[in-house]
A and B are shown apart, each in its own frame.
Chain A
Amino acid sequence: MEINWVTVAAQIVNFLFLVWLLRKFLYGPITRAMVAREEKIRKRLDDAANVKRQSEEETMRLRKERDDFSDQKEQLLIAAREDAETLRRTLENEARKDIEKERENWSRLLHSEKEDFFVDLQQRVAQEFFALAETVFVELADKNFERGVVKRFLENAAALSVGDIEKLKVAARREKFRGQILSRFELPPDERSKIEGAVNNVIGEKMTIQYLNTNAFASGVRLRIGGQTLEWSVAKYLDGLRNRLEEELPVSESTENKRAAE
């Protein structure tokens, strides 16, 4: 165990030379390569961090847009539901009103038709009654019945008012004292003379009477001088009765319409 100082000096030189060589061929290149790689990795990490941050921002933005869209959709749905509910209520109210109106119209129409039916029924009954009565009088009418009729005619002529007599006189003068007697059956001569006597008495002048038979009324006698008439007939009574009934009975709408049209 001894130290060879020449070897020591040589080893020192060798070692320092090795330090220089390794510094040139090992540490420098390796360190530079590691630094360059670390720089690249750091840059890529920074890029990745930037991309991640951007993607997170994009994600946040898209999430916010999605939330906004969802809120908007919800609000639109709520508004649509409210509108639909409002529309439904409006339509329902309108439908109710229409139904109510239709029901009222229907009820009114039903009531009107019911009224019309009863009015028509009453009028039909009255017409049937008058037709039946007229038929009965026609079938009952004969010579004797005509005598009664003439008697009632003469009574009426005797009971005329001054005004009516004056009207007849005016008409007689206008017709040059010519008149007509209308009856359903041909009057016997005695009855004719009674009638002529009564007419002359009323007019105060000699009248020329023409006798005519007609089926216009069931039974009766009618004096016609121009536009003036004096008569007694069953038809007149029946007309009076009809007028009174018409005044008393209600008039149906259809009848009113007919009358208005007329």
Chain B
Amino acid sequence: MRISSDEWIFWSWRWFDLNATIVFTWVIMAMLVVISFFVTRRLSETEEISGLQNFLEVLVGGLSDQIMDISRQEPGPYLPFVGTLFIFIAAANSLSVVPGYVTPTGSLSTTTALALSVFVAVPIFGVAALGIGGYLKQYLHPTPLMAPFTILSEFSRTVALAIRLYGNAMSGAMIVAILISITPFFFPVVMQLLGLLTGLIQAYIFAVLAMVYIASAAQAGQPEKHNIKMMNEEV
């Protein structure tokens, strides 16, 4: 029994192993791109739209609303990154019901890669929004003494992001595998349904946390302005 899909190697060349994590990631990528391509190839701008276009519009619209609610900014710059995080993780977790499929998110390598992407994206979006000076100033707030702790928290939250998603995805697959060997029929189905729900929730959590980190970095230089805006909106 494989703990991680990294151990399922299809092809190896020198130091590179083409494992199941990469292969299934490609499968997911291909599936998402193909679906998107075929749906968006003939988009309707009227009220008469296809079911898939409707689903994708609901998905993209919902992601945009979530990003706007969290960041209080236009979702345009953040939508591709955060939206892709959610869609990829949700698709990878949802496909776990397919026999023979091993979710890439059950690999610590994948979750680490996603967490590192967020780790790098946060300063990029922060610098893009505030400039290098503005972004670095946040480490001095509220006092320079907090800078080491802030930097440490950034590392720790990245690790937490990776471990959280990995643990949930891997545990779900492991529990289903164990239950199939013990009680073959009913419980594995229930646990798979529960795994679908858990996978969607984890995708949502990962994407929302990534957006919160990015938003906090992008707004770090203008907290007072943001607070005033928030107060005005509440009034």
A binds B: yes
Instruction: Give A contacts to B, CB under 8 Å.
Output: 1-12, 14-23, 25-27, 29-34, 36-37, 40
How far, in angstroms, from A119 to B99 measured CA to CA in the complex? 149
Q: Is the CB of B60 within 8 A of A34?
A: yes
**Residues of the A chain whose Cβ atoms lie less than 8 Å from the Cβ of B37:** 25
Q: Is the CB of A15 within 8 A of B60?
A: no
Q: Is B87 interfacial (CB-CB < 8 Å)?
A: yes
**Residues of the A chain whose Cβ atoms lie less than 8 Å from the Cβ of B76:** 31
Contact indicator per residue, chain B 108-131, by CB within 8 Å of chain A (1) or not (0): 111011101100000000000000
| Residue among A7, A12, A27, A34 with most chain B CB within 10 A | A7
Instruction: Give B contacts to A, CB under 8 Å.
Output: 3-4, 6, 15-17, 19, 21-22, 25-26, 29, 32-33, 36-37, 40, 43-47, 53, 56-57, 60-61, 64, 76, 79-81, 83-84, 87-88, 104, 107-110, 112-114, 116-117
- Given contacts A2-B108, A14-B22, A15-B117, A26 and B88 within 8 Å (CB-CB): no
How far, in angstroms, from A117 to B84 measured CA to CA in the complex? 135
- Given contacts A7-B19, A11-B25, A23 and B108 within 8 Å (CB-CB): no
How far, in angstroms, from A21 to B40 measured CA to CA in the complex? 12
Cβ-Cβ contact count across A and B, 8 Å cutoff: 122
- Nearest A residue to B15 via CB reads A6
| Residue among A2, A33, A36 with most chain B CB within 10 A | A33
Q: Can you list 30 residue pairs at the A/B interface with Cβ under 8 Å?
A: A1-B3, A2-B108, A3-B108, A4-B107, A7-B6, A7-B17, A7-B110, A10-B22, A10-B113, A11-B22, A11-B110, A12-B113, A12-B117, A14-B22, A14-B26, A15-B88, A15-B117, A18-B33, A19-B81, A19-B84, A22-B36, A22-B84, A25-B33, A26-B60, A30-B43, A33-B53, A33-B57, A34-B57, A34-B60, A34-B61
**Residues of the A chain whose Cβ atoms lie less than 8 Å from the Cβ of B79:** 27, 31
Q: Is the CB of A4 within 8 A of B29?
A: no
- Nearest B residue to A26 via CB reads B36
**Residues of the B chain whose Cβ atoms lie less than 8 Å from the Cβ of A36:** 45
- Given contacts A4-B19, A7-B21, A18 and B109 within 8 Å (CB-CB): no
- Given contacts A11-B114, A30-B56, A37-B45, A3 and B109 within 8 Å (CB-CB): yes
How far, in angstroms, from A18 to B36 measured CA to CA in the complex? 12
How far, in angstroms, from A26 to B22 measured CA to CA in the complex? 22
Q: Is the CB of A4 within 8 A of B87?
A: no
- Given contacts A15-B117, A22-B32, A8 and B112 within 8 Å (CB-CB): yes
- Nearest B residue to A23 via CB reads B80
- Nearest B residue to A2 via CB reads B108
Q: Is the CB of B83 within 8 A of A22?
A: yes
What is the distance, in angstroms, from A30's C-beta to the closest C-beta of chain B? 5
| Residue among A14, A26, A33, A40 with most chain B CB within 10 A | A26
- Given contacts A7-B19, A26-B36, A14 and B29 within 8 Å (CB-CB): yes
**Residues of the B chain whose Cβ atoms lie less than 8 Å from the Cβ of A17:** 29
What is the distance, in angstroms, from B116's C-beta to the closest C-beta of chain A? 6
How far, in angstroms, from A252 to B223 measured CA to CA in the complex? 131
* 10 closest A-B pairs by CB: A11-B113, A29-B40, A7-B109, A26-B36, A23-B80, A25-B36, A33-B43, A36-B45, A12-B113, A19-B84
What is the distance, in angstroms, from B61's C-beta to the closest C-beta of chain A? 7
How far, in angstroms, from A172 to B76 measured CA to CA in the complex? 164
Q: Is the CB of A33 within 8 A of B44?
A: yes
**Residues of the B chain whose Cβ atoms lie less than 8 Å from the Cβ of A7:** 6, 17, 19, 21-22, 107, 109-110, 113
- Given contacts A17-B29, A33-B44, A4 and B60 within 8 Å (CB-CB): no
**Residues of the A chain whose Cβ atoms lie less than 8 Å from the Cβ of B17:** 4, 6-7
What is the distance, in angstroms, from A125's C-beta to the closest C-beta of chain B? 121
How far, in angstroms, from A15 to B119 measured CA to CA in the complex? 14
- Nearest B residue to A10 via CB reads B22
How far, in angstroms, from A26 to B29 measured CA to CA in the complex? 12
- Nearest B residue to A14 via CB reads B25
Known A3-B109, A27-B60; further 12 A-B contacts with Cβ < 8 A: A2-B108, A3-B108, A3-B112, A6-B17, A7-B21, A7-B109, A15-B114, A19-B80, A26-B40, A27-B79, A30-B57, A33-B44
